[in-house]
Amino acid sequence: MTGLAWVGLALAAALAYALGYWLLWDVATRLSPATLRRAAAGEGKVALTFDDGPGEVTPRLLDALAALGVRATFFVVWERVRGREELLSRMRREGHEVALHGMRHVHAGLTPPWRAARDLERAAAALAEATGGAALPFFRPPWGSANALQLAACRRRGLRVVLWAVDARDYRADATPSAIARQVVGRVRDGDIVDMHDAGGAAGAPERTLAALPDVVAGLRQRRLEPVTLSELLRAGEEPTSALLRLWEVWEGLFARMEAAVPVGREGLIAISLRTYRGPALTTGDGRLLGPGTPAGEIHLGNYAVSRLAGGPRELLRLRRMLNEAVDDLAAAVARGEFASARLFFGTTLLGRAAAQVGLHAREVAPTPGVRLNVAWMRLLMRIYHPDGAARLRRHPEGLRPMLCWITREELLARHAAHTAAQAEPGAP
């Protein structure tokens, strides 16, 4: 064989090794329904988790969590635990949860096969002993990447692989405390698992995470979300999902970034992206006309709402309540000065009647190609998200009429003022 042929053979062998040992398993883990990213129904809770520690900042982070009245889950690296075992005892004493992040912080693709399973099992055993034999049900692989042998060791030890729904990106050199808080509070939704770091990352990153923590917790609570441990979050049940749904969620995450859509409210039921309105002229409640060119915020409905679009009476009642709360949350956000450039908030939806019942204006729209595409999109979401979506679409095709819904900035401010006054009345809930 020529030298070039040997090089080609070596490259093919390396590719086969990477695919069989790491890459295919890594992709499968990220798409697997067994991998935890969020809870089915957070009931107003999110899991705050910290990776890569313990580190120099960890004791002060525990002080800050205690001052804020927050319990979290710490995914620890065993080599960084040595000499800091007292921190594990303190974590558990103060109501936090300890979970495994590995023997050392090494990417799965760079961990040699003869160490992958052995290191994970040894680290799990050592951590269990250091915590007094407490059950350690969770494992988060470094960088969220696992190989075949690590996954086999997880099965033997009964460890669930945990990733995240929201990455704080607090490990980056350009992550400021305010940017970390915006990243978490702006993207999180009810039931999500949030990934932060108390060690590692760029120089000074853990200090910036510590500085961001009060604003993160305040922002979550402002959205009526309480940070808890992972086990407490999962008591509400795990989210039933599938590989197809995971792929769809990846696409939706990319779409949200492209649209710069900002979630509003606890449930993440709606998100707003600022844009210029291009639709038909709209008449406001006081007779003004808002037409094309008006600075606006487009309302994007979360897929939880779409999945219940053809639901039964109980689901529809809950959806109406959630929509009403979401509009209240949007009104509160506008009153705080968010979306300051928008004079109009609008969206095209199949939930027009429900939107009208919670205070938005609604009108049918002409079946333009864009509207037809929107309807086709929502039908597809129904098929993916609703367990009986395809059958219900066949039974109730007449109910899927697209409508343009809108509300003005002034109407939202008036709504918020009325809501605030009602809350201030004696005996208000």
* Contact criterion met (CB below 8 Å) for 72 and 53: no
Enclosing H/E stretch for 181: helix 177-187
List 119, 190, 192, 197, catalytic entry:
197
* 197 labelled catalytic: yes
Transcribe 303-349 into DSSP letters. HHHHHTTT--HHHHHHHHHHHHHHHHHHHHHHHTTTTTT-SEEEEEE
Selecting among 26, 51, 119, 328, the annotated active-site residue is 51
Look up residue 182 and give its DSSP letter: H
Give the CA dihedral 306, 311, 316, 319, nearest 10 degrees: -30
Q: What is the DSSP letter of 19?
A: I
Q: Are 74 and 81 in contact (CB under 8 A)?
A: no
Alpha helices, H only, 46-160: 58-68, 78-81, 85-93, 113-130, 148-157
Count the Cβ atoms, other than its own, within 10 Å of residue 44.
17
Determine phi and psi for 387, rounding to 5 degrees.
-60, -25
Using DSSP, state whether 373 is helix, strand or coil.
helix
Say how many C-beta atoms besides its own lie within 10 A of residue 18's C-beta.
Answer: 14
Under 8 Å between Cβ of 271 and 261: yes
Among the listed residues 240, 186, 224, the one whose alpha carbon sits nearest the alpha carbon of residue 37: 240
Is 26 marked active-site?
no
Beta bridge partners of 51: 75, 197
Residues tagged active-site = 51, 197
